[in-house]
Amino acid sequence: MARVTGDTDFARFHQGGRDAVRALERTLAVVGRSIESFDSILDFGCGCGRMQLWLEAVGARGGLHATDVDADAIAWAAEHIPYCRFSVNGADPPLPYPDGAFDLIFNQSVFTHLDERRQDAWLTELQRVSRPGGLLVLSVHGEWALGDRWSEAHVRLEDSGHLFLPDMRPAPELGHPPWYAATYHAPWYVFEHWARWFAIRAYVPKAVDAFQDHVLLQHTSEEQRPRPLAARPPRAPRPVAESAPAVVEQIVRSAHAQIGRGPSRFGPLATALRGAVLRLMRPYTVHQATADVALARSVDELARATEAQARRLDALERQD
């Protein structure tokens, strides 16, 4: 238990498995599917079967498989969970299954521990053992897992997309392999990089325990798969983004200038009444002006962020 989740409280461990299964159900519901609707299911990196404990009805029908690199955890699971077929795999591929064996593959907190080379090798292998049209739900530490407050780590993650932190290893006494550490993924990286193997059907932030994100993938033919962003033609520069704040400010200013200056259609009395109404509305217009300026500034900020992200993507495309 401690090696799987770092926790030795059985009730918490057990309920955590139920929460992870519920999160999986919620993510599959995005495309109108449920776990029961699949014939052949694999949990890649199942630990000692925390999620399988909640999948007895699915397992009883046959077709439930689970695998992990941790031989002790698998020995326990195989002894106590008879309705699932367990196996042990190596740190690197292959898995002991034929091509296209599964129509659903999921994992909970496995790609959250792998460096990029191993991640890519496993994405290739999961593509091999998934059936054309089959779905995958893989969890990642996204930007939320770094905490709600914007930090240096967020900046590094946003820049690099894949952040493997070899120093963030679990306590040595837990007995994890030396390559097992902590990994974070930026959503843009998942869309750009993982699209080399799968079509990305959904990215669900905070899907599990409001902490890990879910990536819902589909095994499609290469032609059906949307091309990764980096393979798309370079985008034209965006002058509109740069000038947007100025345009907004101009619109706001000219709208203010128009107030009270319309042609007088009802004679001097109407003009005097309009003047009185405008004087009464003055407090409102002052607040409105403040709100308008704030809005123009926000648009400015947004335009700068969009431009910075576009420059980053352009640089990535040039790298490729």
Ligand X SMILES: C[S@@+](CC[C@H](N)C(=O)[O-])C[C@H]1O[C@@H](n2cnc3c(N)ncnc32)[C@H](O)[C@@H]1O
Q: Which residues contact ligand X by CB under 6 A?
A: 4-5, 20, 45-47, 50-51, 68-70, 73, 89, 91, 107-110, 113, 180
Q: Shortest approach of ligand X to residue 4 CB, angstroms?
A: 5
| Nearer to ligand X (CB atom), residue 153 or residue 181 | 181
C-beta of 73 vs 303, nearer to ligand X: 73
* 279-291 residues labelled b (16+ CB within 10 A) or e (exposed): eeeeeeeeeeeee
Least distance in angstroms from the C-beta of 130 to ligand X: 16
Nearer to ligand X, 38 or 292 (CB): 38
Q: Which is nearer to ligand X, 17 or 161 (CB)?
A: 17
Nearer to ligand X, 70 or 143 (CB): 70
DSSP state of 265: S
**Min CB(299)–ligand X separation in Å:** 42
Nearest approach, Cβ of 293 to ligand X (angstroms)? Answer: 49
Q: Which of 167, 162, 149 is nearest to 190 (CA)?
A: 162
Cβ-based nearer residue to ligand X, 7 or 159? 7
Phi, psi of 51 (to 5 degrees): -80, -35
Cα dist. 235→64, 158, 199, 318 in Å? 45, 20, 22, 12
Task: Give min distance, CB of 123 to ligand X, in A.
Answer: 12
What minimum distance in Å lies between the beta carbon of 241 and ligand X?
41
Q: Which residue is nearest to ligand X (CB)?
A: 47
How far is the CA of 69 from the CAs of 73, 77, 90, 176, 316, in angstroms? 9, 13, 6, 10, 34
- Describe the strand order of the beta sheet including 199-208 as a list of residue ranges: 85-88, 64-68, 41-44, 102-107, 130-140, 212-218, 199-208
Contact in structure between 314 and 306 (CB atoms under 8 Å): no
Phi and psi at residue 108, to the nearest 5°: -125, 110
d(Cα 24, Cα 22) in Å, to the nearest integer?
A: 5
CA distance between the termini of the chain: 42
